[in-house]
Amino acid sequence: MNNKAIVDDWRIKLLLPLFWFIDFLLKQRVIASAIFDLVKQRDTLKNILLSVYGNKESVDEVLVQIISEPANDEGALDAFVSIITGPPGPYPVQLMPRISLPVLVLWGDQDTFTPLDGPVGKYFSSLPTQNSNV
């Protein structure tokens, strides 16, 4: 699921035109290739990881290496473009009612991509009071 599915969050509504513009750019092969070449550079990748990881000490050379290696595989550019521009996938609110097995939800309270105070975070935070299997 990418964040484009969460249009009821003011943060996503604010950024939606930017997401559409990025999608447009990434559908241009030359531009997508140039952006991907920039993103997969070790320094750029490390900076992206530092913005995502709450514990900055976790972002070491080993992690950067593990994540950067597949970027050189055949089809990596197509996978990159597909992940960012593809359909967002099902919204968790649609999926959870179908699950009857026990569910353990772990959530980083400093998650920057899907924050706990956003609609998905709030939804999952409320589940234990609504569902006995969570």
Separation of alpha carbons 16 and 4, rounded Å: 7
User: Rounded to whole angstroms, what are the CA distances from 81 to 22, 43, 62, 75?
Assistant: 10, 20, 25, 10
Name the helix (H) or strand (E) containing 31. helix 29-39
Which pLDDT tens digit goes with each residue over 32-72? 999 999 999 999 999 999 988 888 999 999 999 999 999 99
Of 8 and 2, the one with more pLDDT: 8
Tell me the longest C-alpha to C-alpha distance in the chain: 51
Separation of alpha carbons 32 and 22, rounded Å: 9
3-state DSSP helix/strand/coil % of the chain, to nearest 5:
65, 0, 35
Which pLDDT tens digit goes with each residue over 67-76? 999 999 999 9
